[in-house]
Amino acid sequence: MDRKLLDILVCPANRQPLALLDKSGLDALNRGVAAGGLKRNDGSAQSEAIREALVTRDRKTVYRLDDGIPVLLVEEGIATAQIDGFPGA
């Protein structure tokens, strides 16, 4: 992801800066997806593995990247509190 774009992106819900999710966070996220219990903010299931994601500064919300494009919709966010072993949450 372009660094200049990343510098201006913020969470649509709380305006916190976003950063690329590190490997340990991505691994924890995808373990939750594989277990079948991961829900988006709108209540729908996140059923597909996530290849890239952005995380808020407080590490409470994750937004996926689809083919390098951030999906910054509040209802598409994933609360990290529901992910066992999510680092820093």
87 lies in a domain? no
Which residues sit opposite 39 in a β-bridge? 45
User: What are the backbone dihedrals phi and psi of residue 37, each rounded to the nearest 5 degrees, phi first?
Assistant: -110, 10
Q: What is the pLDDT of residues 11-23, one digit of tens each?
A: 999 999 999 999 9
Cα dist from 57 to 19, 41, 50, 64, 65, whole Å: 7, 18, 19, 15, 17
The structure tokens listed for 32 are 């939750």
Give 83's Cβ-side CA count (13 Å radius): 27
For the chain, the helix, strand and coil percentages under 3-state DSSP, each to the nearest 5:
30, 25, 50
Instruction: Report the domain count for the chain.
Output: 1
> Is the confidence at residue 1, as pLDDT, over 70?
no
Q: What pLDDT does 89 receive? A: 63
Residue 44's SS3 state is: coil
Mean of all residue pLDDT scores within the chain? 93
Domain presence at residue 89: no
Domain region containing 34: 3-82
Percentage of the chain lying above the pLDDT 90 cut: 84
- Residue 88 placed within a domain: no
